[in-house]
């Protein structure tokens, strides 16, 4: 069922010629010919990608640090997919002001929680109010984690009476394809303390600490996964009612994460940002990537516990950039189709119907498996409508209108 928000012509992909952005552009150009616009500071690679993709893809120059450049780029656009680091959220604010549909790959949603936690004006509430006033429909956090992870958590949460804890773990390989921003983000976060919601209260944690063994899907097997500040964990207490929410990261080859754990114990952010580290690390990563060529894989494991039920879900893929793009495009598809009909600012677990989302992933070769942890049967998505029956033990919720009736909204 489609909503009442037909989009104007343009689909703007900012950073559309990066590792993930070019994949998003390719998928969306296939689905929506003559509508995709690839944008970035350097018009040359944007133009080259547009020419290569064909299907009416256009290229423009855009600098996210320049408001005039942003506003010019938004002319005639209905959907913005932001793939670049934009910590000041200039593009987000502009898209909301114009009443557009918007999603992004930004890792900075943690800042929205920390600002409120530290007692300042709640920036998330301000964004929600502005979006409702302008008619903008915003899904914060696309990609694998946050993004797909939130919808997987929602699918698990829908199968327990009351969520008590959510634990997720992502495995990434240094042999995989990833952009420079991903490596910089990991280094920036390696020494920064962050809050973790444990049994209904905040505890301070450090990245790459508290390693525990996690069983990832075959053929990966058991890997040690460490706490890491993926931003979806900070909102599960608010969106899914979890009393405990922890996200972890495992890396291949297995020696990499313990090395970063020792690095994290130094607790010196200046070391992570030093020119020497910034020069050496990409070279080391490049050597490891060449050594692991052909053996890259990524995997997501989600465990959601209720008072009586326990659910486990998993997702396995070959190239992380492909998976990130597929999940982002699934969110874009839902926005374009008007399936997220209510204006506001949402997280994926609030806005997206799991059945439709997983069906879109499956169309690109990614299959989510759900397993009741007290039973042997495995549910593989996309499932039939009968597999997503509402749990009669749950109270109704108040998220945006979607193709499924039950969503969870911000209080």
Q: Are 131 and 217 in contact (CB under 8 A)?
A: no
Nearest to 170 by CA among 264, 298, 295: 298
Residues 6 or more apart whose CB falls under 8 angstroms from that of 306 comprise: 160, 161, 162, 163, 164
Q: Which CATH class is domain 10-143+322-355?
A: alpha beta
Cα distances (Å, whole numbers) of residue 112 to 81, 115, 119: 19, 6, 12
Question: Is the alpha carbon torsion for 211, 349, 37, 86 positive or negative?
Answer: negative
Residue the block writes with tokens 């998976």 = 323
Give me the pLDDT at residue 217, please: 94
Give me the pLDDT at residue 121, please: 55
Residues 6 or more apart whose CB falls under 8 angstroms from that of 366 comprise: 315, 317, 323, 326
Q: What is the pLDDT along the chain (411 residues), one digit of tens a residue?
A: 344 445 568 999 998 888 899 999 999 999 999 999 999 888 899 999 999 999 999 999 999 999 999 999 999 999 999 998 887 889 999 999 999 999 998 755 556 555 444 444 577 888 999 999 999 999 999 999 999 999 999 999 999 989 999 999 999 987 666 555 555 666 666 677 888 999 999 899 888 889 999 999 998 999 999 999 988 898 899 899 999 999 999 988 777 777 766 665 665 555 555 665 556 666 666 666 666 666 678 999 999 999 888 999 999 998 888 999 999 999 999 999 999 989 999 999 999 999 999 999 999 999 999 988 754 344 444 543 333 333 333 333 435 544 343 334 333
- How far is 9 from 277, CA to CA, in rounded Å? 44
Give me the pLDDT at residue 354, please: 96
Give me the pLDDT at residue 174, please: 76
- Prediction pTM value: 0.84
If 0-12 CB within 10 Å is exposed, 13-18 middle and 19+ buried, where does residue 97 land? middle
Q: Are 195 and 213 in contact (CB under 8 A)?
A: no
If 0-12 CB within 10 Å is exposed, 13-18 middle and 19+ buried, where does residue 279 land? exposed
Pairing relation of β-strands 77-82 and 10-14?
parallel
Token representation of residue 350: 């609030």
Token representation of residue 84: 């670049």
Residues 6 or more apart whose CB falls under 8 angstroms from that of 300 comprise: 144, 145, 148, 149, 152, 168, 169, 170, 171, 313, 314, 315
Domain boundaries in the chain? 10-143+322-355, 144-312
CATH topology of domain 144-312: Dihydrodipicolinate Reductase; domain 2 (3.30.360)
Give me the pLDDT at residue 24, please: 96
Residue the block writes with tokens 């997987």 = 152
């Amino acid at each position: 069922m489609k909503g009442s928000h037909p989009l104007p012509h343009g689909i703007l992909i900012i950073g559309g010629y990066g590792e993930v952005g070019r994949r998003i552009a390719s998928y969306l150009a296939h689905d929506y010919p003559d509508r995709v616009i690839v944008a970035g500071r350097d018009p040359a690679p944007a133009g080259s990608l547009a020419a290569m993709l064909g299907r009416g893809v256009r290229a423009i120059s855009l600098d996210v640090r320049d408001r005039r450049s942003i506003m010019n780029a938004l002319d005639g656009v209905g959907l913005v997919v932001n793939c670049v680091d934009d910590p000041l959220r200039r593009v987000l604010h502009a898209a909301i002001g114009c009443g557009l549909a918007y999603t992004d790959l930004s890792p900075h949603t943690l800042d929205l929680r920390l600002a409120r936690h530290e007692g300042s004006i709640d920036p998330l509430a301000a964004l929600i109010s502005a979006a409702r006033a302008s008619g903008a429909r915003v899904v914060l956090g696309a990609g694998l984690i946050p993004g797909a992870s939130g919808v997987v958590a929602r699918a698990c949460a829908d199968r327990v009476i009351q969520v008590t804890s959510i634990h997720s773990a992502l495995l990434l390989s240094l042999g995989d394809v990833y952009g420079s921003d991903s490596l910089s983000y990991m280094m920036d976060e390696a020494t920064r303390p962050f809050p973790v919601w444990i049994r209904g209260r905040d505890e301070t944690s450090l990245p790459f600490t508290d390693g525990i063994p996690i069983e990832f899907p075959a053929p990966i097997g058991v890997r040690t996964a460490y706490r890491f500040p993926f931003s979806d964990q900070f909102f599960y207490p608010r969106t899914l009612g979890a009393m405990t929410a922890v996200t972890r990261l495992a890396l291949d080859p297995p020696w990499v994460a313990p090395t970063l754990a020792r690095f994290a114990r130094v607790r010196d952010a200046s070391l992570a940002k030093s020119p020497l580290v910034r020069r050496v690390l990409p070279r080391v990563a490049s050597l490891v990537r060449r050594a692991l060529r052909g053996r890259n894989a990524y995997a997501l494991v989600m465990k959601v516990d209720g008072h009586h039920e326990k659910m486990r879900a998993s997702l396995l893929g070959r190239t992380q950039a492909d998976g990130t793009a597929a999940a982002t495009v699934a969110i874009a598809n839902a926005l374009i189709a008007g399936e997220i009909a209510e204006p506001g600012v949402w997280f994926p677990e609030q806005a997206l119907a799991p059945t439709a989302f997983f069906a879109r992933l499956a169309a690109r070769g990614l299959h989510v498996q759900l397993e009741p942890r007290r039973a042997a049967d495995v549910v593989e998505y996309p499932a039939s409508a009968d597999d997503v029956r509402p749990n009669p033990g749950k109270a109704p919720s108040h998220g945006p209108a979607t193709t499924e009736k039950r969503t969870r909204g911000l209080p």
